[in-house]
Structure 1
Amino acid sequence: MLACKLASRSPDSKNNTIIKIKTAGKEISIGDGNCTIIAGPCSVESQEQYLEIALILKEMGVDILRGGAFKPRSSPYSFAGLGTEGLKILAEARELTGLPVVSEVMDPRDLDQVAAHCDLIQIGSRNMQNFSLLKEAGRVDKPVLLKRGLAATIEEWLLACEYIMDAGNEKVILCERGIRTFEPLTRNTVDIGAVALVKELSHLPVIVDPSHATGRRSLVAPVARAAMAAGADGLMIEVHQHPEEALSDGEQSLTPEQFAALTERIRAMV
């Protein structure tokens, strides 16, 4: 990586970056072989819905809760999240469970309030090359989870990471979530090889989102296992207590029972 001065692994270094997140309940380490499980519904739909699933996931041993408050949607008529109210519910879930929470930021103007309510800041695939947002994320003292863009090369992904790090924030987690190809039967094409390659090129943690990568509930578990076998440092999985009623991405969300079966197999692999 010619231009990735901060994200690249030096030729003689085998050290991996470990990102630690502390809450009142526990300390989470992401990277260097730690199997970090991030889970939750695609969107924060209501206080009752989110707190219920948060407690279920805590009992299942999840490390970090996810939930969208600001949702980038292909259609302007789709549910786009509860905004600030969703962030408040996420913060309430953190107090209730003791688990850290992550949510996506889409606009630099919302960055401070997302950072105030969340322990990790997610920059989604559609904003991977939103350079203004990347630079602003670099000034925030919170870990940033950077998803690979829909059609981004690995070098472009790492260079996007470089914008954040060069601006002062070196706590970056890379997330492979599939890239767009000519294949119509899955939402995206999962680049499992990218996990191994990025781990070779960079010292930063790499996780995989098999939910957005495939778009199909039946494929989440096998792709999750493949990701861990390829050396991923963790997984980001969508779980909803009633996927058929979800306001977004229900078709790729696991039920709690399906998620429990998956995590049992994943834990046995590491």
Structure 2
Amino acid sequence: MKLNLNIQPLHTWIKTGKEPLVIAGPCSAETEDQLVATAHLLAQTGRISALRAGIWKPRTRPGEFEGIGSIGLEWLKRAKAETGLPTAVEVATAKHVEEALKAGVDILWVGARSTVNPFTVQEIADALRGVDIPVMVKNPVNPDLSLWIGALERINNAGITKLAAIHRGFSSYEKSAFRNEPMWDIAIALKTLAPELPLINDPSHISGNRDLIGYISQKALDLDMQGLMIESHIDPSVAWTDAKQQVTPAALADIIDHLALRKPETRDAAVNDKLAELRQQIDKIDDLLIQKIAERMQIADKIGNYKKDNNITILQVGRWDEIVQKRTNYAKALKLGTEFTEKLLELLHSESISRQTAIMNQNEAGQAAEKLTHV
């Protein structure tokens, strides 16, 4: 089911003139000189479509630098006047919205810590009612697609049609190479539900490490995301916030220059014909997969009836371990990833258990209904 969003195409509200779309600037506006100097260097690269800067910084713990505050908006005005770059700022309260609008900020975004709270998002949406300004919504900190969609809908319901989503990754207990796990499947799910919604990637917050920004950026573009938001500082080594994930304007230009831009479609008839042929093969295999899964479940039902008739428990851990071991080894030989194989087996096993549980409970449910009838 597609989302019913009333939005304008990205190119109608941000004039890029460049590919890919890049919104860049320091994580935090620290001083007027730092912000304006960074803005000039970014503008000189000729690759930036808008200047971003954190004015209010919601931090995980108190006592850390939480943004320079409203004075930073004046610095942004100066940077815009001198470079011609549109400006973008994060807002987390109605007061932030009011001050940003008064200062002439061109684009607003709702941060991950705000998206997670519907009350906060609604407050921001109410403050935006009747205003014509682009708004971008970051995914919530936790991997919850419904929260992300809900925030987008609240902003859209307030009359904001210049709307975009920002994919900045999700918190996870498991440590990995990333600061925030990309969980690309969630971003893809949003794109599937709302194909017309511009989706912008934030490789800085996903990576947490400037060395990974190019890799994440390329993957995002390969997934047909419409742009990038990258943190850039005139001297990242002395940045007051998120120093490890910021890059200099020169380094940012180098990253962009090494990105490969691919199109979602081609006019080459031969290429389209070949793709159509390969997709037909995929369709046939998918149909066969569904058929075989249905056959597997029919056998699982028979096993469930047999267990029920012979008072055998549904779950046998030893049998499950045997399946996982054999199938993952077989999958490796066929060059299938272990994680993918284990997830697939878990889905099949969960469905089998569910169906066998329903079979086991058939008599009990019937007996309970009969007792209620005689009460």
Q: TM-score, normalised by structure 2?
A: 0.64
CA distance in 2, matches of 1:195, 1:29: 25
1:62-77 equivalences in 2 (<5 Å): 62-77=48-63
Instruction: Report the alpha carbon displacement of residue 21 of structure 1 after superposing the two structures with TM.
Output: 3.6
Paired residue total? 255
Give the match for residue 52 of structure 1. Answer: 37
Question: More relative contact order in 1 or in 2 (CA 8 Å, sep 6+)?
Answer: 1
1:75-118 superposed Cα distances (whole Å, 9 cap, x missing partner): 22111111111011111111111110101111112211112331
Paired residue type of 1:140: V
Select 1:151's aligned residue among 142, 153, 173: 142
Paired residue type of 1:52: A
Q: Does 1:5 align with 2:22?
A: no
Deviates more, 1:74-83 or 1:171-180: 74-83
Instruction: Report the alpha carbon displacement of residue 268 of structure 1 after superposing the two structures with TM.
Output: 4.8
Instruction: Report the alpha carbon displacement of residue 17 of structure 1 after superposing the two structures with TM.
Output: 2.5
| Structure 1 residues 132 and 204: alpha-carbon distance in aligned structure 2, compared to 1, 3 A threshold | same
Paired residue type of 1:39: A
Instruction: Report the alpha carbon displacement of residue 160 of structure 1 after superposing the two structures with TM.
Output: 1.1
Give aligned-pair identity as a percent.
Answer: 31
CA distance in 2, matches of 1:119, 1:165: 17
Equivalent position SS for 1:54: helix
Q: Does 1:262 align with 2:255?
A: yes
> Larger C-alpha radius of gyration, 1 or 2?
2
Equivalent position SS for 1:223: helix
1:140-183 superposed Cα distances (whole Å, 9 cap, x missing partner): 21110110000142232112100111111121110000011222
Equivalent position SS for 2:72: helix
Q: Does 1:109 align with 2:95?
A: yes
Deviates more, 1:254-263 or 1:52-61: 254-263
Paired residue type of 1:263: I
Structure with a larger share of its residues in strand: 1
Equivalent position SS for 1:266: coil
Paired residue type of 2:106: D
Instruction: Report the alpha carbon displacement of residue 191 of structure 1 after superposing the two structures with TM.
Output: 2.5
Question: Any gaps of 5 or more consecutive residues in structure 2?
Answer: 264-375
Q: Does 1:173 align with 2:164?
A: yes
Q: Does 1:196 align with 2:197?
A: no
Equivalent position SS for 1:159: helix
1:223-252 superposed Cα distances (whole Å, 9 cap, x missing partner): 111101111100000111211100111111
RMSD over aligned CA atoms reads 2.2
CA distance in 1, matches of 2:172, 2:78: 39
Instruction: Report the alpha carbon displacement of residue 254 of structure 1 after superposing the two structures with TM.
Output: 1.2
Equivalent position SS for 1:207: strand
1:84-123 equivalences in 2 (<5 Å): 84-117=70-103, 118-123=105-110
